[in-house]
Amino acid sequence: MFRRTRHVLGLTAVLAGTLAVAAQPALAAQPIQPAQPVRAAQPAPSMTIGGGDGILVQVHNPTDPNTLHYEICTLTAVGYDAAGNLVGLTNAHCFIDPAGNKLVGDKVYKTTAPSGQGLSAAPLPTAQQVVHDAAAGAVGTSTYVSTPNNLASGGPAGLDYAVIQLDPTKVAPTNTVGGVTITSIGDIPPVGTRICKQGWRTGLTCGVLTGSDPIWFTSLIWTWGGDSGSPTVAGNTLIGNAWGAFHHTRITSILADLNARGGVGAGFHLAP
């Protein structure tokens, strides 16, 4: 079961003294240094974005409400990689089209549609809201899409994560969204521990961790379409992302794969 949601529809003066002194040899003329260009001040990033915020992906025909298509997911976390790139993480299946193609290079937009809370799930963004958000410009671009979870299809079990290179001129990273503040990254706690997720569609929901395997873990946390990629936390520690059917991928598995693969996202760490 996938948990994305598909919808169709940032004067210096020099003073001469007169004190008499012994004659001194003339100084050699110094070369005149060229004036340095004055750099215009850079505008501050216009959007604060972090794990738990909603993002619009696969946005087609964004200026026409009648033929608009989009999908909506949730960011897992925002931070920096070893090369200093501003990076966001979410689910891979957010960037896989109906034909099964991985959409590397897809533009990502932040949704301004209000998030939901629990059983009071957020309504899907209207076409007018998506047109407005797309007009504000993309906040990033997908640079890597892993194998999706494939739980429903019975295909190979994937880590189901994607890497987004964010635009630092538009995005100010945050570790607090809604009811979750992420201060560290770690492995999963013991079975029976209460854990939570922060998603765009259903906000903050919690439940106990019910099981695990080498790359995934399960819980009783409620999610719905639009929550794909939600950060799953134990307290303030990020332990995974949520992708539906009460399943999550361990963040430690994701980061190990990122570091082994290299490129954008390798060496990911939370924004300070």
pLDDT digits (tens, 9 = 90+) for 97-108: 999 999 999 999
Phi-psi region of 254 (alpha: psi -120 to 50; beta: other; left: phi over 0): alpha
pLDDT of amino acid 4:
61
pLDDT at 129 over 80: yes
Looking at every residue in the chain, the average pLDDT score rounds to: 88
Identify whether 13 is part of a domain.
Answer: no
Number of domains in the chain: 1
**Torsions phi, psi of 145, nearest 5?**
-130, 120
Residues pairing with 110 in the sheet: 55
Identify whether 18 is part of a domain.
Answer: no
Instruction: List the structure tokens of 157.
Output: 């079990």
Identify whether 50 is part of a domain.
Answer: yes
Q: Are 204 and 224 in contact (CB under 8 A)?
A: no
pLDDT of amino acid 168:
97
Identify whether 21 is part of a domain.
Answer: no
Identify whether 8 is part of a domain.
Answer: no
Render 179-199 in DSSP notation, one character per residue.
Answer: TEE--EE-----TT-EEEEEE
- The residue among 239 and 41 whose pLDDT is bigger is 239
- The residue among 13 and 247 whose pLDDT is bigger is 247
**CATH number, domain containing residue 151:** 2.40.10.120
- The residue among 164 and 36 whose pLDDT is bigger is 164
- The torsion angle over the Cα atoms of residues 167, 182, 205 and 3, rounded to 10 degrees, is 40
pLDDT at 163 over 90: yes
pLDDT of amino acid 44:
78
| Runs of H (alpha helix) within 120-229 | 127-135
Identify whether 12 is part of a domain.
Answer: no
Q: What percent of the chain has pLDDT over 70?
A: 84
DSSP 133: H
What residues make up the domain containing 162? Answer: 45-270
Instruction: List the structure tokens of 6.
Output: 């598909």
Rounded to whole angstroms, how far apart are CA atoms 236 and 57?
A: 27
pTM of the model: 0.85
Q: Are 217 and 207 in contact (CB under 8 A)?
A: no
pLDDT at 1 over 60: no
Identify whether 102 is part of a domain.
Answer: yes
Rounded to whole angstroms, how far apart are CA atoms 215 and 209?
A: 14
* Closest C-alpha among 83, 131, 90 to residue 111: 131
- Which burial class, exposed, middle or buried, applies to 245 when counting CB atoms under 10 A from its CB (0-12, 13-18, 19+)? middle
pLDDT of amino acid 138:
97
Rounded to whole angstroms, how far apart are CA atoms 198 and 109?
A: 19
Least confident window among 19-28, 153-162, 241-250: 19-28
Identify whether 218 is part of a domain.
Answer: yes
